[in-house]
C-alpha cells in the first residue's frame, strides 16, 4: 500500500510540534511528510524570541537538532512560501513548483497587526515577530538613540524589553488607558506601569497615533489625537496579531467572522482533506494566541490523520485555558481564568495591594465563595501554581479564600500538598501530564522519579514542575507501600541530614574517610562519589570544621566555581566579588576597585546586594587581582559558594531622620560574624533601620527590622524564581538575644535541611512550620540550643579568607592557568565594547 502524502504549511512552533507528534506515533510508515516554511530558519522557539538580543542565536533557539527532519524522512522546504492551494487538483503551488497532497495541514500562524496610521511605512518602522524582524531592529538600532513600541500588550512589552536591551531610550504607546488590558485591571495596570517606568521605560497610555512624520531632533515624529507629539528614531509596531489566513480564504475554505479558518473538534476545515491548527484556526468562534492551545490542536490533528477511515479519532480539541504566567521586563504578571470577573454573574472579589513591595493580587470566586473563577497577579507570581490547581481542578476553596493571596506572615494559606490534588490535576503543563498519568506510570512499574520522567516526559520541558513532580511521585509510591529511598545518591544510603550527623558525631574530616566507612556501591563502580554527593559532603565538612576548601583533601569535591573561588561566566571568564560588609566602603577602597577594574579590563557593576562585581577576569589573572584586593583590605565575598552572600542595609539612624537603630552597624556585625558559613543553599540577610524597610529585609533568609525597643526578626524569605515573604519570628529583641537566635536558626537549618534546599522550602517542609521553629530556637524544646551555639562558634573561630589561604600556597596557585602545559591565556575568549565597558562578544 502506497503512502499518503501529507503537506504541512508552516514550520513554526505548532507546525513543528505536529511533525514531532507524527514521528512519535510512527506515522511516517503511512505518510510521506512534506513541510513548507517561508522563513530561512527551521522551527525555533518564538516564546523566548527576546533572548536573541541577549546573546542567543538561531541555532540555540531551534526546536530540533539540525538533522531532525532528515533523520526522520521528513522533506523540509525552507525559504519556500506557498502561494496558492488548488483544492480541485489537491496541489499546493510555490515559486519552485506544484506539490500534490492527499492531506494538508495549515499551520501558518499569524502576522503582526500594523495600525493603518499614515506614515507607518516609513524607514525604521518595523515589526517584532521573526528572527529576520529582530535582525532588522538590531540593524536600525545601530544608528538610533530612541525607540518607541506601539502596543502595550504582551508582545509590546516583549518588544520594549528588546529595545531597552539594545541600549535605546524606550517608550511604550498604548491606545487604551492601561497596559496589558486583556490580563490586568485598572489597579494591576497602574502598578505594572509604575514598575515598568521605574526601569526607565516611558509609558504613554490612552494615546491614539494620528500620523507619523519627519522629526526635528529625531527621525520620526508621532502626532497623537490630542496634538501632543513624541519624537523617536525607531518605531516597532506590536499592536496585536492577525491570523495568516490568506491561503485558506483564497481557496474558498469557511472563514471566521474576524478572520481565521473555521475548524471543528478534530481540527478539520470545511474541506475534510485540509486541517488547520494554531493561530490561523478558529474553533467555536475563538482564536488562540498561545502556544499551549496550538500544541493541543496539533495532537488532535495527528489523531484525526491517523484515524482517517477508521471512525472518529481518539482525541479532539475542546478549547484551551488562556491562563498565563509571564515575566515582562523582569516584572511578574499572572492571569488565571476570568481574571476580570466579567464573564459570570454573581462573582465576588478579594484584592491585596502592597504598594511598598509593589505586589497586587486579586481573586475572583463564585458567589458562595467555594470555587475559584479567576485570579490576577502583578509583581509576584509565587502563588500562581497553587491558584492554578484550585482553578483548573475545581477544588473547593479554604474557608477564608483571601488567605490564598495574603503573605504567610498575614495569615496566608500554605501551598497544596500532593494528597490534595485530584487525578486530573495538571502537573507538567509543557507535556500535559496529569497526576493520573503519573499514577498510571507508577502502577505500570515506574518505581522511581527517573522512571516516571521517562514514561511521562514530565519535567523534561522547562523543568518548572520538578519539585511538584517529586512530591507527587514520593507520595504515590508511599501510598502503594513502596519505600521511598531518601538516600542522597547511589554512593550513600543516607540523607544529607544523616550524613551531617555522621560527620559531626564521628569527627570525620575527609570525603575519603566518610565514603570508606559509610559509603556503598557495586564492585564495578569504585567508591569515588558523584556530582551529587561530593559537593554535598564538601559543604557539610565546611559547615562543621571550616577547613580551607582548597586543601588537597577537599579540592576534588568542589565544583568549578568553588575550585577557582570565582563564578565562571558564559564566555569562560570569571567574576571577582570582594566582600563589602553592610554595603559600607571607604573612598580609598572604591578607588582600589576602580584601579583593578581598569588595569584588568573588567566589567564593573553595582549589585542589588550592595556589592561591586567585577566581571571578565581571566583565570590566570585571578591570583594577581586578588593579591591587589587583599593588600587593600578586601577579602573574598563568597559569591561562588553556597554560603552567606551579603547582609544588605539601609543607612539607619546614623543618617536617616526616620531611622531608630544603627542598621549599618548591625549589618556589619552580622556579616562579619557569619561570613564563610557554608550551608545547603546560599544565604542572604538584611537589616532595616525602621519599618519603612528600605533594605527589603522581609525578602531575605534572615531579616532584621529596627523598632523603638530593639529588633524584630524575620526568617525564611527569599527572592529568586519563587519569591517568598519572610515570617515574623520574634519582636523587640536586644542585640545579644537577636544574635543568639540567628546563631541557632542558621545552624539548625544547616543541620536539618536537604541539599540545595533554600530556607523557604525547608520551612514549608518542616513539620509544625513556624511554631516548631520557635519551639526549637526560642524555647529550646529539643535541648539543642547550647550545641547549635557551640557549632556556630566553631565556624566563626575557624574563619579564614579562602583567597588569602590560596595565595599563600604555591601548589594551590598552579591551578590558575588555562592550559596545563602552556602559560598563555585562553585565545577563545572574545569580548566587545558596550556602554564603555567590555562584555562577552
State the binding site for [4Fe-4S] cluster: 650, 656, 690, 694
Distance of alpha carbon 141 from alpha carbon 552, whole angstroms = 52
Taken as a whole, the chain contains a residue count of 841
241-243 and 727-733: which strand pairing?
Answer: unpaired
Distance of alpha carbon 287 from alpha carbon 372, whole angstroms = 24
DSSP state of 259: S
Distance of alpha carbon 280 from alpha carbon 242, whole angstroms = 8
Could you tell me which of 582, 589, 537 has the C-alpha nearest to residue 562?
Answer: 537
The 10 Å CB-count burial string (b at 16+, else e) for 655-682 is eeeebbbbbbbbbbbbbbbbbbbbbbbb
Backbone φ and ψ of 492, nearest 5°: -140, 130
Q: Which three cell numbers stand for residue 185?
A: 485591571
Quick one: CA torsion of 780, 785, 788, 794, rounded to 10 degrees? 170
250 to each of 76, 244, 247, 265, 827, how far by Cα in Å?
24, 12, 5, 23, 56
Within 8 A by CB and 6+ apart from 405, the residues are 350, 352, 361, 362, 363, 375, 383, 387, 412
DSSP 53-113: GGT--HHHHBSS-TTHHHHTT-EEEET--EEEEETTTTEEEETTEEEE-SEEEE---EEE-
Q: Which residues pair with 674 in a beta bridge?
A: none
Binding site: which residues? 650, 656, 690, 694
Q: Which three cell numbers stand for residue 290?
A: 498561545
Q: How far is CA 490 from the centre of its chain?
A: 30
Could you tell me which of 279, 274, 275, 283 has the C-alpha nearest to residue 294?
Answer: 279
110-112 and 241-243: which strand pairing?
Answer: antiparallel
Could you tell me which of 727, 668, 667 has the C-alpha nearest to residue 694?
Answer: 667
Distance of alpha carbon 29 from alpha carbon 321, whole angstroms = 34
Could you tell me which of 535, 622, 611, 632 has the C-alpha nearest to residue 575?
Answer: 622
Q: How far is CA 743 from the centre of its chain?
A: 32
Contact between 784 and 543 under an 8 Å Cβ cutoff? The reply is: no
Contact between 579 and 635 under an 8 Å Cβ cutoff? The reply is: yes
Residue 336, classed as helix, strand or coil, is strand
Quick one: CA torsion of 430, 435, 437, 439, rounded to 10 degrees? 140
Query: Given CA atoms 435, 439, 442, 444 in this order, what sign does their dihedral have?
Result: negative
CB atoms within 10 A of CB 5: 17
Cβ-in-10-Å burial (0-12, 13-18, 19+) of 483 comes to exposed
Distance of alpha carbon 511 from alpha carbon 698, whole angstroms = 37
Q: How far is CA 90 from the centre of its chain?
A: 46
Binding site for siroheme: which residues? 694
Distance of alpha carbon 669 from alpha carbon 677, whole angstroms = 14
Cβ-in-10-Å burial (0-12, 13-18, 19+) of 57 comes to exposed
Task: For residue 297, give the H/E element and its range.
Answer: helix 291-306
Contact between 219 and 234 under an 8 Å Cβ cutoff? The reply is: yes
Distance of alpha carbon 647 from alpha carbon 665, whole angstroms = 11
Amino acid at each position: 500500500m502506497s503512502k499518503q502524502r501529507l503537506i504541512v504549511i508552516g514550520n513554526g512552533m505548532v507546525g513543528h510540534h505536529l511533525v514531532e507528534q507524527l514521528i512519535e506515533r510512527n506515522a511516517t510508515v503511512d505518510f510521506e511528510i512534506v513541510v513548507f516554511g517561508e522563513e530561512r530558519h527551521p522551527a525555533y522557539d518564538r516564546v523566548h524570541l527576546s533572548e536573541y538580543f541577549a546573546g542567543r542565536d538561531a541555532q540555540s533557539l531551534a526546536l530540533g537538532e539540525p538533522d531532525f527532519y532528515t533523520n526522520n524522512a521528513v522533506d523540509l522546504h525552507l525559504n519556500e512560501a506557498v502561494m496558492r492551494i488548488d483544492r480541485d487538483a489537491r496541489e499546493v503551488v510555490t515559486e519552485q513548483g506544484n506539490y500534490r497532497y492527499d492531506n494538508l495541514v495549515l499551520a501558518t500562524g499569524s502576522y503582526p497587526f500594523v495600525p493603518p496610521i499614515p506614515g507607518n511605512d516609513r524607514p525604521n518602522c518595523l515589526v517584532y515577530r521573526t528572527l529576520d524582524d529582530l535582525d532588522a531592529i538590531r540593524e536600525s538600532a545601530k544608528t538610533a538613540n530612541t525607540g518607541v513600541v506601539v502596543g502595550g500588550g504582551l508582545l509590546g512589552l516583549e518588544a520594549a524589553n528588546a529595545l531597552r536591551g539594545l541600549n535605546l531610550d524606550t517608550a511604550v504607546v498604548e491606545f487604551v488607558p492601561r497596559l496589558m488590558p486583556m490580563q490586568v485591571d485598572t489597579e494591576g495596570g497602574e502598578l505594572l506601569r509604575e514598575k515598568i517606568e521605574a526601569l526607565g521605560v516611558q509609558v504613554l497610555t490612552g494615546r491614539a497615533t494620528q500620523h507619523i512624520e519627519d522629526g526635528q531632533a529625531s527621525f520620526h515624529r508621532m502626532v497623537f489625537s490630542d496634538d501632543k507629539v513624541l519624537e523617536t528614531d525607531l518605531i516597532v509596531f506590536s499592536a496585536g496579531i492577525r491570523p495568516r489566513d490568506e491561503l485558506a480564504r483564497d481557496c474558498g475554505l469557511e472563514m471566521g467572522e474576524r478572520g481565521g479558518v473555521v475548524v471543528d473538534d478534530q481540527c478539520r476545515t470545511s474541506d475534510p482533506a485540509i486541517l488547520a491548527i494554531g493561530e490561523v484556526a478558529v474553533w467555536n468562534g475563538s482564536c488562540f494566541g498561545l502556544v499551549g492551545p496550538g500544541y493541543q490542536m496539533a495532537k488532535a490533528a495527528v489523531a484525526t490523520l491517523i484515524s482517517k477511515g477508521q471512525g472518529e479519532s481518539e482525541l479532539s480539541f475542546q478549547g484551551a485555558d488562556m491562563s498565563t504566567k509571564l515575566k515582562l521586563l523582569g516584572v511578574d504578571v499572572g492571569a488565571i481564568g476570568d481574571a476580570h470577573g466579567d464573564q459570570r454573574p454573581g462573582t465576588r472579589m478579594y484584592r491585596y495591594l502592597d504598594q511598598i513591595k509593589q505586589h497586587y493580587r486579586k481573586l475572583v470566586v463564585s458567589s458562595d465563595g467555594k470555587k475559584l473563577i479567576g485570579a490576577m497577579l502583578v509583581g509576584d507570581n509565587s502563588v500562581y501554581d497553587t491558584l492554578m490547581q484550585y482553578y483548573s481542578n475545581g477544588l473547593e476553596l479554604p474557608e477564608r479564600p483571601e488567605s490564598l493571596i495574603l503573605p504567610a506572615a498575614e495569615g496566608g494559606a500554605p501551598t497544596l500538598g500532593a494528597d490534595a490534588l485530584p487525578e486530573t490535576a495538571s502537573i507538567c503543563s509543557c507535556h500535559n501530564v496529569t497526576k493520573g498519568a503519573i499514577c498510571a506510570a507508577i502502577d505500570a512499574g515506574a518505581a522511581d522519579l527517573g522512571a516516571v520522567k521517562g514514561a511521562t516526559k514530565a519535567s523534561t520541558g522547562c523543568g518548572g514542575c520538578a519539585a511538584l513532580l517529586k512530591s507527587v511521585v514520593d507520595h504515590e509510591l508511599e501510598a502503594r507501600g513502596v519505600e521511598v529511598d531518601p538516600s542522597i545518591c547511589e554512593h550513600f544510603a543516607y540523607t544529607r541530614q544523616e550524613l551531617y550527623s555522621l560527620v559531626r558525631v564521628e569527627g570525620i574530616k575527609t570525603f575519603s574517610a566518610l565514603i570508606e566507612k559509610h559509603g556503598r556501591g557495586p564492585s564495578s563502580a569504585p567508591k569515588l562519589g558523584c556530582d551529587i554527593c561530593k559537593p554535598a559532603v564538601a559543604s557539610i565538612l565546611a559547615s562543621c570544621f571550616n577547613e580551607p576548601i582548597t586543601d588537597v583533601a577537599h579540592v576534588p569535591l568542589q565544583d568549578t566555581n568553588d575550585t577557582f573561588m570565582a563564578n565562571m561566566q558564559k564566555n569562560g571568564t570569571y567574576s571577582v566579588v570582594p566582600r563589602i560588609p553592610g554595603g559600607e566602603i571607604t573612598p580609598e577602597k572604591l578607588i582600589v576597585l576602580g584601579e583593578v577594574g581598569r588595569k584588568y579590563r573588567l566589567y564593573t557593576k553595582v549589585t542589588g546586594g550592595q556589592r561591586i562585581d567585577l566581571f571578565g577576569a581571566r583565570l590566570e589573572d585571578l591570583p594577581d587581582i586578588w593579591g591587589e584586593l587583599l593588600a587593600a583590605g578586601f577579602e573574598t565575598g563568597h559569591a561562588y559558594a553556597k554560603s552567606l552572600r551579603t547582609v544588605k542595609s539601609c543607612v539607619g539612624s546614623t543618617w536617616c531622620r526616620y531611622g531608630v537603630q544603627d542598621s549599618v552597624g548591625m549589618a556589619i556585625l552580622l556579616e562579619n560574624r557569619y561570613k564563610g558559613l557554608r550551608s545547603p543553599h546560599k544565604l542572604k540577610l538584611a537589616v532595616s533601620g525602621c519599618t519603612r524597610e528600605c533594605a527589603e529585609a522581609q525578602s531575605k533568609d534572615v531579616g532584621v527590622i529596627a523598632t523603638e525597643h530593639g529588633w524584630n526578626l524575620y526568617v525564611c524569605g527569599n527572592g529568586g524564581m519563587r519569591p517568598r515573604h519572610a515570617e515574623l519570628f520574634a519582636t523587640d529583641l536586644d542585640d545579644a538575644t537577636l544574635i543568639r537566635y540567628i546563631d541557632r536558626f542558621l545552624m539548625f537549618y544547616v543541620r536539618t535541611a536537604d541539599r540545595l534546599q533554600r530556607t523557604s522550602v525547608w520551612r514549608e517542609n518542616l513539620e509544625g512550620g513556624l511554631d516548631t521553629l520557635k519551639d526549637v530556637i526560642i524555647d529550646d524544646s529539643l535541648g539543642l540550643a547550647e550545641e547549635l551555639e557551640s557549632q556556630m562558634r566553631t565556624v566563626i573561630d575557624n574563619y579564614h579568607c579562602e583567597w588569602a589561604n590560596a595565595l599563600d600556597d604555591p601548589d594551590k596557585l598552579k591551578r590558575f592557568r588555562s592550559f596545563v602545559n602552556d602559560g598563555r591565556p585562553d585565545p577563545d575568549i572574545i569580548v566587545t565594547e558596550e556602554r564603555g565597558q567590555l562584555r562577552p562578544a
